[in-house]
Every structure is written in structure tokens, then in C-alpha cells.
Structure 1
């Protein structure tokens, strides 16, 4: 059985989803790759895929009950809807993950994750539904950990953060107000911005490409680049990979989301090539 599926819009437009973590590993638009995937990334299910769009659930960051960033990105998902061409020409597929003995040993809750990936001529939409299928409430954090490919990080600018408060994991500070309309990445950055990109989204801009990231029910945005030392310290990351990527990550992470029995959270992000 194949470990990945591909959505084909045209010869020059496609998206590939690995069933391990339901990770979108490639998005080619007009013949150009838009997502960063480390050449050292493990693709055999032995470790979370380094790059693309990993899906973080039920916990963002270190987790006392299990691995960092939870288990969704290191679980094998099932295809419940094969790639299908819609009436408007877009191509879509649906994957699911539900609780089992392995997840319940870490996190004793019943859930259903339904992930719909849709490829258009100039856009990619990832929509996640989190359903509490049990009889008791649970809380969680969730994140679409998107790695954008850039030709040169030194010429990349990211906007949509002006006036937002953020916590800075590198500096160890919190409730800092962003004063820059456009952020230039020139060092190790690891920040969680609250209510960021509302309502206009984030523009990831390079001399060659402009991408607009918009979100629904994902109020926070993580901005990350490991820079020199941290890139070199990661075994599955290219030493110079930080020069060709920036993570702009849509999430519900600054506080935990509570879902009562039978409730569903629907959230999504859309990336458009301008």
C-alpha cells in the first residue's frame, strides 16, 4: 500500500500528502515548490516528518503525557475519500484519525479527527474537524505547522503581526507588542502571536513569490526559524536549511480549547499564491 497520495490539478500543480501524520509534504504551484521539506527528513514512519505541513494535536510543545507536539503527526491516518475532482476543478481528499489503544494510553479520550485537503489552481486549503466522540469533555491545543520554502530568508518579509502580543521563547518574554509591520528573519525566532493575522491574514513575501495565509478559528500564529546553531543541532534538518524556510503556523495554542461531549471544532487555513 502506498504511503502517500497526490492531488493533481494540472501537470504543473499538485500536492502530496503522506499518510504518516497526514503531512502535506509537497505543494507545487505553476511548477514551483511552495513548501520546505528537509532532505534529511525521515519518511519511513520512524520520526515525525521534518517539513511540509505537520499536524499538531492534542498538544503544542513539550507534553507530559507523550511526545512533543502530541501524537497526530506520528500516527498513520486513513483515507476516507480518495482524491476527487470537484465541479469547480479543485481536487480534494479526506483523511481521518481516531483514538485507539496507543493514543488512549497517552491521552485517555475518545476523538475523531477529519482532515480535508483541497488543491486549487493557485491555492491550498487544509481543513480540520476535531470531534469529541466520548462522554466527557477534553481540552487540547492544535497547530498546522506550515514550513514555507523561500529562496533566501534574508530577502523574506512576513506581515500580519503589527500590534499583536506575543510570547518569545528565545528571549523568555511574554506580552510583547509587535511594532513591525513587516518582520525580517535574521536570527533564531520562536514566537507565539495571539490573535495574529486577523482579519487580513499573513503575507509571506520574497522577490519571487508572494503567499497569503488566511485562517478560520485558528487565532494564534507561531513564527519560527531555528537559525544557524539550532539547525545544525537537529539530526533531521539540513545545516543550511534555515536559509530556505520560514514557519508561519496557524494554531489554537495560547490557551487550551475545551470540547464537550459531542462537540466539534472546525478550523482551517488557506494559502494563496498571489
Structure 2
């Protein structure tokens, strides 16, 4: 365990190939993943790390609600609660490649959302891949319903040269312009304020940081996260965000695996696992 510049507790995972991953216990938020020296994730230089709000970047955990929530903060409370670290899954000490973080209901969460739950969040770093896996357990006597998402911010050199593949033919909800539509592009590129929920995404999604060179991509392989949210605030909205630099929209794209278009219902005493594996692929194929 170490302490970042803000004084918040951070955990570092280390891979056998020299890759590193940092997790902030505020929200159990993965804030950095350096794969063989290359930073894969985006975290804003203006991100607030004092535990009072969600961290702007990395992989915040959305639970138990995606979007505006009449019972509590937007995207739920998991990303702003302090999580607990358990023992390493694979190794102990400073060279652990896998860690598990725990969040359980307390008086604060029950005042917002009266459910008894236990979340177990596993983060595991391996060669060219990062696994994030969320186990939701219903500790109560009654079923509860929720939505969840891994709000992954990817670092890119130039948003105008970035592309996302694997969404063609999917229906999506356009949160900016409204309505439900069908994606007809093989390679989705962004040139405006963009916020779309792509539904029932069964196959892997690929993010190409540079569609012209296409020498590598980030491939998302998921389990029980069947929706994909693609988001970039663009210029005007970026300027309105206090924890986001005015020009930082050029260098990030959120591609978020979630289960958000329909609530998940979990019966008493049952659990369910939601996982995302990000794989860095070296490829010349589009």
C-alpha cells in the first residue's frame, strides 16, 4: 500500500513483463495501466483525488445505477465510496499481479438504496491484458435490481484519428441528439459531443488509437456486460467540467462495457459476475 500526492491510499500491481497498474481505494478506481511502458488509460490532470467525488479518468465503477439517479449521486455510490483491500489472489507483497477490493452496504448506502450487498472487485494484470471483474452478491432476504458499468477512459493521441470497431448493426440510444438508431459504420469515428449506448453487443469491441496507422488496438472482451457506451464530451462540454481540462477531449475516448439498457435483478442469496478484459493487440489489420 502506498499513498499518492493527495494522501489517498493507492495499490500498485506489477506484471512479470514490467507492466504496472495503480488502483485508488476511492472507488477502487484503476487510475493507470502502463503496459510495457505505454499508458493505456486516460486520467485528467484536473481529476479530484480527495475522495469527495468520482475520479475523472481510469476505470470508475458504476453501481447500482447508471446515469442520473433520484436516490443518490449520478452513476451510483460505488465510484465515490472507500473500498477495502483484501489479500492478494496470486502473490503477496509489493509484486502482486492481482488484488481484490471489497465494498459492502452500510448506513450511508442503505439510506440511499435499501439493499444488503457485497461487491468483490478483482483487478489482475497480465502480459498485454488487464482484467477487471465485479462480483455482486445479494446478502439480503429480497431480490434487488441494479445497473452497472466499467467507465473506462482510454488515452489516445488524437480523437479525430481514433476509431471503434465492432458496433456495426447494433441499435443505440443517442443521449445527445435523442432517439434510437442503428449503427451502419464499420469503423465508428468521433467528431462531436458523443454519448451513445450501444445495446446487446455480443462480440469484442476494438478501439484503434490511430486508424491511419492501425498498428495496435485495445480489444474489450466482456462477460455479462452486454452494452457498450461510447462517450467524448467535445469542446464546449469539456470547458464546463471543472475536473477536466479544456483541451483534454482531444486525448481521450470512453469505451465503457456495461449492463445498463435493462436492469439486472439478483435474487436473495445469489451472486453474479461482470467482467472486462482489455487486451493490447499488435496488429496491422483493420
- Quickly name the TM-score band, shorter chain normalised: over 0.9
Q: How does 1:112-131 map to 2 (within 5 A)?
A: 112-131=118-137
* 1:67 alignment counterpart: 73
1:54 is matched with which residue: 37, 60, 64?
Answer: 60
Question: Cα deviations across residues 213-242 of structure 1 (Å, max 9, x unaligned)?
Answer: 111111100000000001110000011111
* 2:247 alignment counterpart: 240
Question: Cα deviations across residues 8-32 of structure 1 (Å, max 9, x unaligned)?
Answer: 1157410000000010000001111
8 Å Cα contact 1:90-1:121 kept in structure 2: no
8 Å Cα contact 2:17-2:127 kept in structure 1: no
* 1:187 alignment counterpart: 192
Report the CA distance between 1:66 and its aligned residue.
0.3
Report the CA distance between 1:85 and its aligned residue.
3.4
* 2:138 alignment counterpart: 132
> Are positions 1:106 and 2:112 aligned together?
yes
In 2, the alpha carbon distance for the partners of 1:236 and 1:84 equals 35
Judging changes above 3 Å, is the alpha-carbon distance between structure 1 residues 20 and 83 closer, same or farther for their aligned structure 2 residues? farther
* 2:149 alignment counterpart: 143
Question: Cα deviations across residues 42-74 of structure 1 (Å, max 9, x unaligned)?
Answer: 011021100000000000000000000000000
Q: Any idea what SS the aligned residue of 2:146 has?
A: strand
Q: How does 1:147-226 map to 2 (within 5 A)?
A: 147-174=153-180, 176-196=181-201, 198-199=202-203, 201-205=204-208, 206=210, 207=213, 209-226=216-233
Judging changes above 3 Å, is the alpha-carbon distance between structure 1 residues 164 and 90 closer, same or farther for their aligned structure 2 residues? farther
Q: Any idea what SS the aligned residue of 1:239 has?
A: coil
Report the CA distance between 1:210 and its aligned residue.
1.2
In 2, the alpha carbon distance for the partners of 1:46 and 1:66 equals 14
Q: CA RMSD in A?
A: 1.6
In 2, the alpha carbon distance for the partners of 1:143 and 1:32 equals 25
8 Å Cα contact 1:7-1:83 kept in structure 2: no
* 2:258 alignment counterpart: 251
1:20 is matched with which residue: 18, 26, 42?
Answer: 26
1:29 is matched with which residue: 28, 35, 60?
Answer: 35
Unaligned runs of 5+ in 1: none
Q: Any idea what SS the aligned residue of 1:228 has?
A: helix
Question: Cα deviations across residues 58-116 of structure 1 (Å, max 9, x unaligned)?
Answer: 00000000000000000000001237439xx9810000000000000000100000000
8 Å Cα contact 1:6-1:83 kept in structure 2: no
* 1:39 alignment counterpart: 45
In 2, the alpha carbon distance for the partners of 1:58 and 1:246 equals 23
Report the CA distance between 1:193 and its aligned residue.
0.6
TM-score by length of 2: 0.91
